[in-house]
Structure 1
């Protein structure tokens, strides 16, 4: 059960929407289910003689009774309450009970208070109601509604437990602000796929990923095509910033600005400065002139990031809460960097993974930002290297990195679950699903090539590598050797041996690097670990065999009659004398 509290200034406009057909004719049978005093609240949905104007006047009466200078600018309190998908449909009587409990818990109208605010509850769908109240009591005072959103959430959790509904995750006030209903409606009218708030939040996160300093962050925002306005003090110091989408304007034609703090709590300028306080990641220069060096190209940047991500898994498995929280922030930046530079085949899934994991980067656990410099440096390297191709070494190292990122999100799920962060754990779980889908897409081609190469190995060589696997993984060897990925392991061990490695020692090192119990696919994880540790190519090195050139059988040809004459003529020409002009 989800409450969503907001305030406004037009009682009549809100009631006209609630009793109207809706934006897609989705409102059915709008009517009152509860009110502060049912006898005084006309119901335009059931009473043909009642009007919206009458209901508006009754609700606004305590506000209008005050002098204009005492009337609140935002006097309308609005709280939709919706059941979770899959919950049973509540009756009108049950929804009336929900409404009374919500207004009591939030301080709008406590039970037994005959001077409380006026309120109603309108139902126009099976799965939710809208509670509307005016924010002046009958005695002219304002209600005590401090932290009304938290109190409404807590009351909904009680109702869920008592009525056998789905128990949703409790919030901790660290989530980003969701788009309002007005923002969603405007996005639909203007043909946008999402409200500008969400688009801006993603652009700001991506601009921050691996940024060396404040100037680079602001430069990336403008390069992304956003409108940027800084709030500057008389001294010249920048105090804050706000961004807007080009073309997103209000009714007066002015840009609709969003300060960073309204996009997400950690995107305010003071919080960004805390993240950037340690200077450029790994002491890299803030401005790079000319093309990126070869090591910073997409494949090399992703290979380096894989090693850093594996270290993050180790930190998240430890007991240092501050270090773990810092790692999660860095992992979020790394995901943002990968999403904006990924091939088209995986870009959508990775963008969804980054959006989902954004919620997992914030909790009340204080982070030590110096602990995520390596992850920020990896994100910076990926952004600087540019877009990766979906094939060849770029495609292979992308799959290598995504395989590790799945393990990182699993570690994040465990970290948050152990600390009671239900929403963050759910967000990390959602990100893991998107990462798995992206990994399946990116790994299909390189893994297929490795399996084909492994199947072409001589039988004695395959048997020797099978014995190596049995010796290193005695408890899991039978399962590994039955998986299709076993052929890829054999191909990788063969490549490693030809590169000068000891296959037994390299496999043992890959197994000891991290536990394999959390891996979705043990063979895939081992393949990418072996290739990263052994510094092998991320793709199979199948030698190309040239097909023999077919030559037609030689046919006896009759000698040309001029052949002897031409030969005799060439014999008479001096080598120093120029030939005849043609």
Structure 2
């Protein structure tokens, strides 16, 4: 069961909507199933024309506002929509009444056995949901305490799920990113966009944060990516940056101005203070280790790219083993968070749409409850350093088609080890009883396996002899065997005597 809390100023307009025909879904037989008094005493009477007379009910709900001892709130109408899952059985009116009473009790708006509580009603006009309406004014003239009401509503939903055997939902732990509103979805659809800008901005900001080791590099990366950046400065300390917001220049409001989203509106771990916590970690800020192949002055761009892929794949494979071998919750939390950095950077530099969707799906599994940053560890720092190395080599890559042709085998190794790491994160979240995060990790791993199955078919020819030798050496050095995983993708190492065959007209290297 899910709950959506909104606030308003006029209870009369809300009642007319609840008892009206509806805008998106038809309202069938709207009636009160529960309230601060018996539902029969609150049900609006029908007029001679068959319509409901809603004025008496609206006046009864408004009346406590006139006797408030303090100033009247600007939005005194509290409304919560409660909806069951499509797979749940239909609840009876008596069961919905119990659900509404539990919600009022958990939120503190109308606790049980409190005769001076706020006035409220619950209207049902469909099988799968009800609307609970309350006036935020107690009969004794005081205001109710509705602090963190949406979190309390989530707790009430979980209580009734267990009581009636409904489909269980995740707790309100703030690991999920804010979803686009209906207005954003409709505006994006009218503009012909593939996805709402909030989703695309979250992905771009996460990739820029993973590729940066300082605040200056982060903002520079956002601007180089074509985003508009607006900084927020402290009112107490002039010149001190306390936050930021980003926007797509082409996504504007009715006045032609870009619509900005702050980091906190994108995800709990993308606020500037939490990004600073990651960047200021001494382990994270250490220089990116360069392999022996990087150190040679004669290394070509291709050799640098291969080395970066090999290093990232090796570190990801080691991290997957560490997730299963180490039982320190701090180490596991840091590895889970750092895995998101590697996945976001890989999706960004390859431009692969499926990798981007996998990164979006995995984001929830990577976060700690309520956006708390995990403690920094050398194990997570190694993953983040590998992600930054991949991003640095992207500067000189140029055409992604050439990159894809030359680095298909290396990309497969990297994706395979990231998938193994994410599967180990799913096992960890499941052991923690964080079912929503475990499901997010499993979905991300499934998308990565899908990319591995399709990527070899997009290659235009078999690997060259040098690439095969390189892949064989890398596979032998991996802490997690990947030969079986690559064999399942359909790739086959050609024998030395074999030469790749081409159909007439097919592209060649």
Fold shared by both chains (TM-score > 0.5): yes
Residue 119 of structure 1 aligns to a residue whose secondary structure is: strand
Aligned match for 2:361, one of 356, 378, 387: 356
CA deviation vs aligned residue, 1:205-247 (integer Å, no higher than 9, x gap): 1221221211121122223333321112343121111223436
1:106-505 equivalences under 5 Å are 106-184=107-185, 187=188, 192-233=193-234, 234-246=237-249, 256-278=259-281, 282-283=286-287, 293-297=301-305, 299-317=306-324, 318-343=326-351, 347-364=352-369, 367-371=374-378, 372-384=380-392, 385=394, 386=397, 388-389=400-401, 391-444=404-457, 449=462
CA deviation vs aligned residue, 1:498-541 (integer Å, no higher than 9, x gap): x899x9xx98x56x933x7xx8xx7225799xx9xxxxx99987
Work out the CA distance in 1 between the residues paired with 2:207 and 2:406. Answer: 24
Residue 239 of structure 1 aligns to a residue whose secondary structure is: strand
Aligned match for 1:513, one of 466, 472, 479: 479
User: Is the Cα–Cα contact under 8 Å of residues 395 and 446 in structure 1 kept in the other structure?
Assistant: yes
Whether 1:524 aligns to 2:485 is yes
Pairwise CA RMSD: 4.0
Structure 2, gaps ≥5 residues long: 290-298, 503-509
Work out the CA distance in 2 between the residues paired with 1:500 and 1:269. Answer: 40
Work out the CA distance in 2 between the residues paired with 1:545 and 1:66. Answer: 84
Specify the alignment match of 2:293 in structure 1. none
Residue 438 of structure 1 aligns to a residue whose secondary structure is: helix
Residue 91 of structure 2 aligns to a residue whose secondary structure is: coil
Specify the alignment match of 2:507 in structure 1. none
Specify the alignment match of 1:481 in structure 2. none
CA deviation vs aligned residue, 1:286-311 (integer Å, no higher than 9, x gap): xxxxx9943443x5433321111111
Q: CA deviation at 1:330?
A: 1.3
Worse-superposed segment, 389-398 or 313-322: 389-398
* Cα gap change, 1:212 to 1:90, in 2 (>3 Å): same
Structure 1, gaps ≥5 residues long: 286-290, 454-490, 532-536, 548-582
Residue 130 of structure 1 aligns to a residue whose secondary structure is: strand
Worse-superposed segment, 259-268 or 4-13: 4-13
Work out the CA distance in 1 between the residues paired with 2:72 and 2:23. Answer: 31
Residue 139 of structure 1 aligns to a residue whose secondary structure is: coil
Residue 137 of structure 2 aligns to a residue whose secondary structure is: strand
Worse-superposed segment, 82-91 or 54-63: 54-63
Specify the alignment match of 1:60 in structure 2. 62
TM-score, reference length from structure 2:
0.80
Specify the alignment match of 2:2 in structure 1. 2
Structure of greater relative contact order (alpha carbons < 8 Å, 6+ residues apart): 2
Residue 109 of structure 1 aligns to a residue whose secondary structure is: coil
* Cα gap change, 1:310 to 1:21, in 2 (>3 Å): farther
Work out the CA distance in 1 between the residues paired with 2:97 and 2:122. Answer: 7
Q: CA deviation at 1:271?
A: 0.4
Work out the CA distance in 2 between the residues paired with 1:236 and 1:256. Answer: 24
Work out the CA distance in 2 between the residues paired with 1:301 and 1:538. Answer: 23
User: Is the Cα–Cα contact under 8 Å of residues 64 and 138 in structure 2 kept in the other structure?
Assistant: yes
Q: CA deviation at 1:44?
A: 8.1
Work out the CA distance in 2 between the residues paired with 1:524 and 1:173. Answer: 35
The number of equivalent residue pairs is: 478
Work out the CA distance in 1 between the residues paired with 2:181 and 2:357. Answer: 21
Work out the CA distance in 2 between the residues paired with 1:46 and 1:524. Answer: 73
